Amino acid sequence: MSTGTGEAVPGRPRDVRIDSAVLDAAAELVVDVGYRKLTMAAIADRAGTTKTALYRRWSGKAELIHDLAFSRMARLPPSSGEVEADLRIMVAAARDLFASPVTRAALPGLISDMAAEPELSARVHAGFAEVFGALRDRLVTAVDRGEVHPDVDPDRLIEVVGGAAMLHALLLDDREFDTAWADQLSALVVHGVLR
């Protein structure tokens, strides 16, 4: 078996069927029982595998659930070439991420665990670094082209969009994220950002 860097790793290759079964089981369970009551043993049992198999892949529940909830965030859609369309895509992606039943069920517990575990917090931040960097680059390019106010801080814009979606997921969980929500936030963002 080898890593992505080509280094050999002892043992047999990971079985992707186990990975898939574990992620499916974790998704079902976190929605059914909630993050706090979720255990690695219950996930292993539902997936038809062992806790040892889980711990070979993830350091614990928080890392597993973070991967489950936020893995798709690492993939940013290609730029449309138009800043307004890209901002709308950014808002829709944040809405889709935080509207997910898995994310909504996991978010309060993950935030708590991140506050208590600096290593987990560092891993979570590292996981978002690539997508945030790509968003930042797109916004800097838009500023350079004169499409966006020069004083717009890309990091603050990312915080506004992500923060609005996270706040909605945490505090307004009885309301659905819908197209109207995304359209309204997009309009606010576009109004504040475009020249």
Give me the domains of the chain, ranges plus CATH numbers: 1-57 (1.10.10.60), 68-193 (1.10.357.10)
**Residue type present at position 104:** R
Q: How confident is the model at residue 139, as a pLDDT?
A: 86
* Ranges of the chain with pLDDT below 70: 1-13, 74, 173-174, 195
Query: What are the DSSP calls for the chain, one per residue?
Result: -B-TTS-B-SSPPP-HHHHHHHHHHHHHHHHHH-TTT--HHHHHHHHTS-HHHHHHH-SSHHHHHHHHHHGGGG-PPPP-S-HHHHHHHHHHHHHHHHHSHHHHHHHHHHHHHHHH-HHHHHHHHHHHHHHHHHHHHHHHHHHHTTSB-TT--HHHHHHHHHHHHHHHHHH-TTS---HHHHHHHHHHHHHHHB-
Q: How confident is the model at residue 25, as a pLDDT?
A: 98
| Contact predicate 99/169, CB 8 Å | yes
pTM over 0.95: no
Q: How confident is the model at residue 174, as a pLDDT?
A: 66
Q: How confident is the model at residue 175, as a pLDDT?
A: 74
